[in-house]
Chain A
Amino acid sequence: MTRLAIDAMQAAGEIADFSRRMAAGALALATLEAPAEGCSARDIVHREDGIVLYRYRPQAASAGLPPVVICYALVNRPYMMDLQPDRSLIRGLLARGLDVYLIDWGYPGAADRFLELDDYVNRYLGGCIDHVRHTLGVPAVNLLGVCQGGTLALCHAALHPEGVRNLITMVTPVDFHTPENLLSKWIRGVDVDRMVEAFGNIPGELLNATFLSLMPLRLTSQKYAGIADIADDPAALANFLRMENWIFDSPDQAGAAFAQFIRWFFQENRLVLGGLMIGGGRVDLRQLDCPVLNIHAAQDHLVPPSATLPLRGLIGSHDYTSFEFDGGHIGIYVSARAQEILPRTIAEWLEKR
């Protein structure tokens, strides 16, 4: 007994139809404009080297809360936070009257080869937070760290707790040695210093290839076959193109910082096991005593819940909230449900603190 019940003539028709739709999709894609990077009005308020801090223009009456500074990952571009009008966490926060800032790490060039985690965690992130504190005259900000940016935010908040009023981490890896962590398994035996010696900055393309190899069929064959399904839908094609543009817009990684991140986090799991020193300061999560909201995605293949949930047992804060979003690592930014659920969850949590 077999479930296979494909009629030969029907299959031939399906192939012809698929080819027609793929060709139509390709033609329609060729007529689209290159996607913009972000969609909400904003101003540059601070720069240091290649780092830019944006402040978003308000879209609603102020909620009267301290500003939110978003610290995104180094490995992708931060406009994912404001991808398009109906897929924008930033718009959702602005609509609730929050004052939103976003750090753009830029594209490290050859001259940034020797930037270390100290530069990112203390100097750049610290510089952005200090700028907001001084210009607005507030003692501390609400820091929102996303993915790897959440790990950097955790380090910063542990080293400089005075500047962080509340900490929100989204899909943030904390324990890098959980059994599901494929990236950690693959990178554990690599001599990362030698890798940086050979490459200088680590090419974004190399990271992209690595991320694709986590789910190679879903992220290539199946995704692109899906163009046939949206060939007649210009809005869906525009969304597809925007996502593709973002996924493959991967900055090179500053060599020294990359080596430190891989060695200290992926290989030695120091955030959990201890011994993490950044810029001469010991990163001890027990020093982190501000309220923490830890948001994770239930079906996250990059940062599985088991990698982020141990945070609760590591921090000094007694005000810890965990929130599970029913979706994956990308869906948490761009799904329709996320647009409704996440800004509300974050704003309501902040209002109580």
Chain B
Amino acid sequence: MNISDTFGDGIRDIPFASHADTESEAVRRIRDFGEDYLGITRELWKLVESQLSQEAGTPSQALEKGLDQLRNALKEKFVRLYVPAFGPLHAQQAATERLMSTTLRWQRAAARVSELLSAVAADAVARLVAVLSGPDASGPPVTSLRQLHDLWVECGEQAYATAAHSEDFAAAQTELLTAMVEMRFEQRRQIEEWARAFNLPTRAEVDAIHRRLHELARLLREAQKR
């Protein structure tokens, strides 16, 4: 289903949508995004329907695969969320886009770290198996779950240390922290906008006062020394 089927050509009558035959880039993007979003929602519903029709206890590999596809589709579509800000609320629109964009960046960074940690977990298990039954396995038998747990911890720390010192891991950690900082920055900016709207003092304003006080106190100490 195309979104135009629902709304007809009415969408082209919106004032900022340019002329009837040549819709603006912004409107086209919004429309594309809406179509994508509806399409994904429709696919999700189909997936749920197909699951409901299956017998209880049926392996859900198909469901998992379908959800993965939808997740990927969502990720891909959200990357295209950006539309140029315009109109009286352009500042708010731009701020919201920045917040969503930084949130997505943080999600991607967190996913990358998770991916690396999954590899560490797999390496830990491989090391544990090698220690227990590999060609070089030696040492007393492991007779309790607690011993097994401690051995797993040892293998896990070895695997983690190897990965954590790699450039890939450092880059992923740096990106995660940077993305979190940028997201936090945008969150703070939004909160400050709200605070200003209600004439409440903001962090930035209080910081400015603290900075002035700090500088004044320093000047005073220097003057007292002279």
Contacts and interface: CB of A to CB of B under 8 A. Distances in A.
A217 B155 CA distance: 10
A199 B184 contact: yes
Contact of B173 (A5, A6, A186): A186
B210 A217 contact: no
Contacts, number: 106
Contact of A198 (B144, B170, B182): B182
Q: Which of A114, A182, A221 has the most CB of B within 10 A?
A: A114
A7 B221 CA distance: 73
Interface stretch (B70-78, B91-99, B133-141): B133-141
A225 B142 CA distance: 18
A110 interface: yes
A179 B206 CA distance: 41
A85 interface: no
Contact of B148 (A6, A18, A186, A198): A6
Interface string B204-220: 00110011011000000
Given A185-B165, A191-B178, A218 B153 contact: yes
A162 interface: no
Q: How large is the interface on B (under 10, 10 to 19, 20 to 34, 35 or more residues)?
A: 35 or more
Q: Is the interface of B mostly helix, strand, loop or mixed?
A: helix
25 contacts: A2-B132, A3-B131, A3-B132, A6-B143, A18-B146, A110-B206, A110-B210, A113-B211, A114-B214, A115-B214, A186-B174, A189-B171, A189-B174, A189-B178, A191-B181, A194-B178, A195-B181, A198-B184, A200-B203, A200-B207, A214-B164, A215-B160, A216-B160, A217-B153, A221-B153
Interface of A: 1-7, 10-11, 14-15, 18, 110-111, 113-115, 123, 179, 182, 185-191, 194-195, 197-200, 214-218, 221-222, 225
Interface of B: 131-133, 137, 139-146, 148-150, 152-153, 156-157, 160, 164-165, 170-171, 173-174, 177-178, 181-182, 184-185, 188, 203, 206-207, 210-211, 213-214, 221
